[in-house]
Structure 1
C-alpha cells in the first residue's frame, strides 16, 4: 500500500499518522509521545482532541483521560489525569506502619507542551528528514495514604520530564517509526513519585523510547512500542534488605488502531509493564490490556 492508499482527514492530515493520545496526554502511541502535533489541525488552524483510556493488569488498574489543543500544526498543549488503583499497596503495612488505606488510589495530573522544531512527517515523507519536536510534561502526584510510603522512599510528588522525539513516515512502505529520548527521574511514570533517597538514584537520566506502526489500510494500523525505564528505587530497596522488591522494568506493548471516521480513533493493545513493586505482588509481571478512545477535530 503506497501513498495513494492513504486517506486524509477533513483538515488535510493523513488518517492515523497524527498518532493517538498517549498516557501522558500528548499525541503519539499509547506509551510514548511522537513528534507529531495532535488534533486534525494543519498549518493556520486550531484543533482540539479528547481521550479516555483504561488499562488493566493482574494487580493494577489505570484509568486516564485528557484533552489537547493543537495550534497551527506547530504547538501542542495537553492536560491529562491518571488514576491508578493501587490496592496491592495495602501489603506495605505489613512491612512498617505506613497507614495505607484499603482500596487506595494514586492520581496524577500531567500538563504538557510540545513544539515542532524541524521537518514535516507528511511533506517530508519522500526525504530522509524526520519531523522533530521537543516537549515537556510536568507531573503532580496525589498519593493519598501512600504519601507516607513515598516520604519513606525519599521521592518527591512533582517532577518534570523533558523529551525530544523524531518521527519518520515512510509512505511508500506504509510505515511510521518514532524515537523519543526522555530526561526523567519519574518512578513508574511518576505515579510512585520522582527520584529516590540514597543509595537509590535521585538525579534524572536519559531513557529511550521507540514506536513503529504499519498501516494495513487507510484507517487501520498495527504496531509496537518499547519504553525504557530508569529503575531509581531498586538500589534503595536492596540496601534495606528487600532485594529487588522495588524494581522497575521497561514497558512494552503491541497495538492495533482503527479510525472509523476522520474524527474518531480506537486503540487496543496488549501491554507488558514488567514488575511494579514486585515485593507486594509476588514478583508477577504486570501484563494485560490497554483500550483508548479519542475524538479529534
Structure 2
C-alpha cells in the first residue's frame, strides 16, 4: 500500500468521525469501564506502549463506534521516533488503525518514514467480564517511504512487510491488595527489523519468526496505572537487535484522554548499544 492510499484511509477515518458526530450522537462510545480500553502502542494499534493487546482502541460497546487519535515520541541516546496515528473501533468487534512513524538519526539529518495500516478482530470474550481472557487476532502492514537505509544494512525486503499476531488480555478486579490488575500476552509472526524501520528479513534470517510479547500493570485508581512491558525481537540483520522493555505510568483523567510516560530500554539499534530513554504518548478519543 503506497503513501497516497494511507492518506486516503486517514481521510476516510476523519470523515467518519465528522459524519458520526453530527448524525449519530447516540453512538458515542461510553460502554466500558474507564481504563479498560488500554492505550495506543507505537505502531498505532490498541494496546500498551510497545505491545498490541486484545483490547480494541476505544470504549465502544456492541451498539457503538469510537474514533481516536494518538501522538507518541520515544527519545533515546542516538535516535528519536515519533508516531501519529488514528483509529476507529466498530461495535466492540473490529479495529482499524493507520499510523506514520518518523525515525530520526540524531545529528545525521536522516528521517526514515514508515506508514502502517493495522486491522484487529476480536475473537472471544470481554477483558473484564468473561471468565477467560479476551482474545483478538491482528495484522500490521508496514511500508517504508525511503528504503535506502534498510538496503544499506542488508534487509532482504527494504520496502514493505506484514506482521501477524494473536493477543490475550485480562483485567482482574480487586486482584492485588484491592487494586485492579491487567495482563496481556501476544504472539507475533514477523520479519521486521526494528519494527520495519530497517526493513524486513536479512542475511541471518528471511523467514517469519514467532516473537513473544507481554504486559502487566496495576490500576491504583480509576485514573492511574503503573506497569511494565516486554517485546522479543528477531535479529535478522546480525546487528545484535535486542529485545525491548519499558516501565510506564498512565494518567487517565477521563475516557476522552490519557497520557502515558515510560522509561524505554531498547538496547542495540543498528549496532549502537544502550539505547534507553523517555517514551511519551498522548491519546484522545474523539467519541
TM-score (normalised: structure 2)? 0.85
Name the structure 1 match of 2:159. Answer: 157
Q: How does 1:1-297 map to 2 (within 5 A)?
A: 11-87=30-106, 102-124=108-130, 127=131, 129-143=132-146, 145-146=148-149, 148-150=151-153, 152-173=154-175, 174-197=180-203, 200-234=204-238, 246-278=239-271, 281=272, 284-296=273-285, 297=287
Is the radius of gyration larger for structure 1 or structure 2? 1
Change (3 A) 1:10 1:187: closer
TM superposition shift of 1:147: 5.1
Following superposition, the deviation at residue 153 of structure 1 comes to: 4.0
For 1:207 and 1:146, the matched residues in 2 are separated by 24
Runs of at least 4 residues off by over 6 Å:
none
| Cα distance, 1:43–1:249 mapped onto 2, change above 3 Å | same
The number of equivalent residue pairs is: 255
Moved more, 156-165 or 141-150: 141-150
Shift of 1:145: 4.4
Query: Mean alpha-carbon deviation: is it higher for 114-123 or for 9-18?
Result: 9-18
CA 1:154–1:225: 2 relative to 1, 3 Å = same
Q: Given the superposition, is the C-alpha separation of residues 206 and 144 from structure 1 closer, same or farther in structure 2, using an over 3 Å criterion?
A: closer
Q: Deviations over 1:201-248 (max 9, x none)?
A: 0001000000011000011100000000011111xxxxxxxxxxx110
TM-score by length of 1: 0.83
Mark the runs of 5 or more structure 1 residues left unpaired by the alignment.
1-8, 89-101, 235-245
Contact 2:29 2:66 in 1 (8 A): no
Secondary structure of the equivalent of 1:156? coil
Cα deviation, 1:42-95, whole Å, max 9, x if unaligned, reads: 11101101000111000000110100000001000000110000247xxxxxxx
CA-CA distance at 1:155 after TM superposition:
3.3
Aligned-partner SS, 2:236: coil
Distance 1:27 1:295 in 2: 12
Determine the C-alpha separation between the residues in 2 that align with 1:38 and 1:44.
Answer: 15
Work out the CA distance in 2 between the residues paired with 1:145 and 1:190: 13
Quick one: distance in 2 between partners of 1:144 and 1:183?
22
> 1:142 Cα deviation (Å)?
2.0
Residue 178 of structure 1 contacts residue 211 of structure 1 at CA under 8 Å; is this kept in 2? yes
Q: Secondary structure at the match of 1:146?
A: helix
